[in-house]
């Protein structure tokens, strides 16, 4: 993950900042350096989407490290490793509960810092891979199984019910397969199909209405005498 992985160092001590930057560059990471809380916020506003991890001192001129951490948590989803001379357990617990992912006490061993960085980046990479597994897509439609949401071209469909989500999940997981109403009902309701089709037909109709609210493209095709499938 090192290639194009950009790490931001926020540390007002120039020597420490440069030591961290040199060690991380040696490992193949790109580095952004800030020497105050105010400077770090400006960099985040301009380049925040490109940053993979932050090393953050607390005692900073301008905006404090705690305020920088709060800003990051409100606007970004990246690991933050706090590096501080504050060594009390209360300080550590406060920062960790406020959103820091790790806490390193000064003076530090540079090899330990690099190792902690690599651990956090591996965690982020695994979480990213899991997020991909938790998403199902077809054409411009995306089902997010974590947030229980459905999007078309980035627009969220409103008020998707549990059964509607399950119906779409089944169809999107098998985009070329036509499903009988019995199969769809038993998957979405998790109970035996008793031969009554009106409930399922109403849910299919509601899904179509919610899709039409954001796009003219049809996603669900009726296969007469069988059931439904995704429209190719």
Task: Locate 85 and state its tokens.
Answer: 């001379």
Indicate yes or no: pTM above 0.75.
Answer: no
Do 222 and 164 contact (CB within 8 A), yes or no? no
For the segment 167-182, what is each residue's pLDDT rounded down to a tens digit? 999 999 999 999 999 9
Q: Mean pLDDT across the stretch 183-194?
A: 85
Nearest in space to 54 (alpha carbons), one of 5, 106, 19, 112: 5
For the segment 112-128, what is each residue's pLDDT rounded down to a tens digit? 999 999 988 988 877 66
Q: Is the pLDDT of residue 134 over 80?
A: no
Q: CB within 8 A of 126, min separation 6: which ones?
A: none
Ordered by where they begin, the domains of the chain are: 6-133 (3.40.50.2300), 135-230 (1.10.10.10)
């Amino acid at each position: 993950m090192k290639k194009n992985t950009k790490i931001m160092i926020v540390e007002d001590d120039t020597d420490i900042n440069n030591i961290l930057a040199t060690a991380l560059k040696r490992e193949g990471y790109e580095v952004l350096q800030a020497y105050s809380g105010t400077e770090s916020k400006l960099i985040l506003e301009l380049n925040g989407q490109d940053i993979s991890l932050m090393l953050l001192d607390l005692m900073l001129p301008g905006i404090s490290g705690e305020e920088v951490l709060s800003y990051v948590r409100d606007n970004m989803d990246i690991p933050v490793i706090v590096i501080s001379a504050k060594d009390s357990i209360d300080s550590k617990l406060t920062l960790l509960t406020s959103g820091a992912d790790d806490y390193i006490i000064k003076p530090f061993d540079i090899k330990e810092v690099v190792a902690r960085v690599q651990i956090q980046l591996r965690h982020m990479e695994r979480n990213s891979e899991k997020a991909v597994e938790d998403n199902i897509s077809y054409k411009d439609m995306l089902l997010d199984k974590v947030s229980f949401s459905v999007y078309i071209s980035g627009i969220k469909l409103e008020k998707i019910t549990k059964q509607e989500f399950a119906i779409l999940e089944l169809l999107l997981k098998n985009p070329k397969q036509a499903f009988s109403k019995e199969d769809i009902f038993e998957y979405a309701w998790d109970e035996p199909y008793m031969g009554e089709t009106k409930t399922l037909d109403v849910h299919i109709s509601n899904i179509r209405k919610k899709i039409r609210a954001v796009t003219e493209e049809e996603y669900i095709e009726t296969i007469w005498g069988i059931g439904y499938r995704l429209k190719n």
